[in-house]
Amino acid sequence: MHRTDTVDVVTVIRGELTVVTETGETTLRAGDSVVQMGTMHAWSNRTNETVVAIAIMTGGR
């Protein structure tokens, strides 16, 4: 896992993407979004399908 000093908004366009944090895991599917605000996290594609996602990161300070 890693931490960034940014606010990240990630939206899955195609496939499934699992976001892993210190408190658990959430699987995002097409149309789902997550907002990360400087937390420890990791991304995992646990399928054989290609994931397409849009990520927007902005300064968190």
pLDDT at 61: 65
Q: Percentage of the chain surpassing pLDDT 90? A: 79
Residue 31: phi and psi, rounded to 5, are 95, -15
Task: List, for the chain, all residue ranges whose pLDDT scores fall below the cut of 50.
Answer: none
| H-helix segments, 1-61 | none
Distances (CA, A) of 59 to 8, 24, 47, 50, 56: 9, 25, 31, 28, 10
pLDDT at 5: 86
Which residue type, as a one-letter code, is found at position 8? D
Residue boundaries of the structural domains of the chain: 6-59
Provide the sign of the torsion angle of the four alpha carbons 6, 11, 15, 19, taken in this order. Answer: positive
